[in-house]
Structure 1
Amino acid sequence: MSTVQTTGPAREIRDRFGFWRRSYAMMAKEFIQLRRDRVSFAMIIAIPVMQLLLFGYAINTTPHHLPSAVLLQEDSDLARSILKALENTAYFRFVYEVHDVDEFDNLLKSGKVLFGVEIPRGFERAVRRGDKPALLVAADATDPVAASSALGSLGMIVQTALAHDLYIGDPPAMPFEIRAHARYNPAAESRLNIVPGLVGTILTMTMLIFTALSVTREIERGTMESLLSMPIKPVEVMIGKIVPYILVGFVQAFLIVNIGVFLFGVPVLGNLFLLAGLSTLFIAANLAIGYTFSTIAQNQLQAIQMSFMFFLPSILLSGFMFPFAGMPAWAQYIGECLPLTHYIRIVRAIMLKGATMPNLRFDTLALAILMLVAMTIAVTRFRRTLD
């Protein structure tokens, strides 16, 4: 029995019709699969909307109302007028008033304030005598973007604001001298700000992806059934998967810091052992978060999507790319829930300021709490998988 072969125009029409029919079938199959993968479908809709609204309102390259401290060595009308004039520039927000130089320095070193204003004793008397005393403004220049705009607003604005206190009519020359001192990065070199932040950023990206794929990889390879049949507890599984990557992360941090020091000239003024210990804590916190994602995701694609959904806010809301203090309060609350926010403060403070553990207590405690919360969620989720 012979088959009839179609040739010519009829065969061409049939092949063309078959091409579109098969392509339509594949498209229908993909839409059905996407509809069943609810997590990925939700991310397609939610991620761009959430990120546009979040970053559009939160990111501000000209920060205002930056936390500041004042070392008030005399309580006079002129001193209060100066502080009010500085606040009226909208760049300064005085949250601490200290009477001790050491406390003044510790606030700057710990990152609790970005600016410190020192009004010396006998300042008003010297102004009225025409001695032109000095008003010291110290700035934490580890973030040059946040410091430069505020320091540039000092002279003329303060002079105009004090006109009614010293004279009537057009203001003459500035009745006192403003000495602006940019600490920790006096030349405002961007690499001193960027390179320490890159330590945390690179570790966040790699650690999240490593562990986010750990459980989902076991499921897709079919080895999870063998793992579940073993007499092992969820905590033991988590520790076994996290500890090797802690060592990997520690090696990465060591390489990045050494490259920053020898190639980019970034100083390390603080204790290296303190930096190593807190880096290990930060690595463990990111690994715990990545492991949590791996217990939620159903496949490796979802795990990677969750990792990048967490990674992008970490970059933009942590103070790495944009001044943290310049963000609105609600965005700062979100940023405080990100391990990278606290680690960037830690690594910049140790490398550029020579900060010690008492200066870093808040950020260290925050990292530990975030790590414990992530580990608790991960163990709980993995236990449900076992059930």
Structure 2
Amino acid sequence: MKYAEILHRCFRCGYCKFTLDYENFNCPPYRKYRFDTFAPGGRMWLIRAWLDGEIENSERFQEILYSCATCGNCVEHCAFTFRENLVDIFIAAREEMVNGGRIPPPVRDYFKAISIHGNPYNLPAAQRSSWAADLPVQPYDGQEYLFYVGCVGSYDERGRKIAQAVSRNLIRAGVSFGILGEREPCDGNEVRVLGESGLFEYLAETNIALFRQLGVRKIITLDPHAFNAFRKEYPAFGGDFEVLHYSQVFSRLIESGNLKPGNFAARVTFHDACYLGRHGGEYEAPRNILRAIPGVELVEMRQNRANTLCCGGGGGNFFTDILGGEGDSPSRIRVRQALETGAEILVVSCPQCAKMLEDAIKAEGLDGRLTVADAGELLDASLRAH
């Protein structure tokens, strides 16, 4: 297994599972289960024991390994030089498990759906652009930007609304962009983090070949997960593109005066998406959008930016639900934290976060007290008012 030589270096000091101020736990599965086996340090020891033949692959071990949301909190807090490899170690262990042929059924079903249908929803590619049916969005044909929507934005009801709002904003600003529609393959980020490296390589090479064939040089992503894959993983396969998350584009357009938000009175708080923030290093672009909307009052949750609590959807959990959604799940804790700020709107910058947190609001019985809006949607609403 890759990184096997690093496993023994962890002696479970425990810093990896805390918040920056050490006042609470910030590792999503540990915060839920409170067993050290679910913390990064405990997981490291279990992986080592598994590789050494001291424990066997079991349903329990699979649950522990796949409950990791790959949020990167452990990377922020680990005191050792191998800290940057922590998430990759857990992904490598999943690869080893996949290669061994024994994985959780939801993970198996996810891979099967991607392999057969090209998306985790088991829906035909012909439906991939139906979200844009009522919008003047053109197929990509040499425009300046490819707007890569992704599986969640194409098929999930919540994601489709965000894709529509982002597109309307791009059109208003006069941005030259097109979409791939039914030709758009899955970006593969969750395939990779769930451990199917062979399938990810195939998806990456397929996407890169298509992008090159079409002459794509600049990409705007809806989903931070695609943003991560294109920026960090595709270059290893020869895919060098200029990749921007939509929030970065809108932040620049507002600064240049090409987008002028109208008044929208609301008290809001912002949830940092792990794959835009910790993995992507972008914390300010979504906040720049919110600060630019007259009438919006931004109040931060105590845990924000690199100290944020993951919604629990990362690491493939959005699709497999191995981490679950009970009362101590990270998404439900997060909406309670948002409610404490007095905000009426919890703003996100990721369609997966939007779905996770909306479901948590319903589970917490907070309908009518707190709503979820994507930053692109809030900007769209302000521009309509203007």
TM-score with structure 2 length normalisation?
A: 0.26
User: Highest CA radius of gyration, 1 or 2?
Assistant: 1
TM-score with structure 1 length normalisation?
A: 0.26
Decide which structure has greater helix share: 1
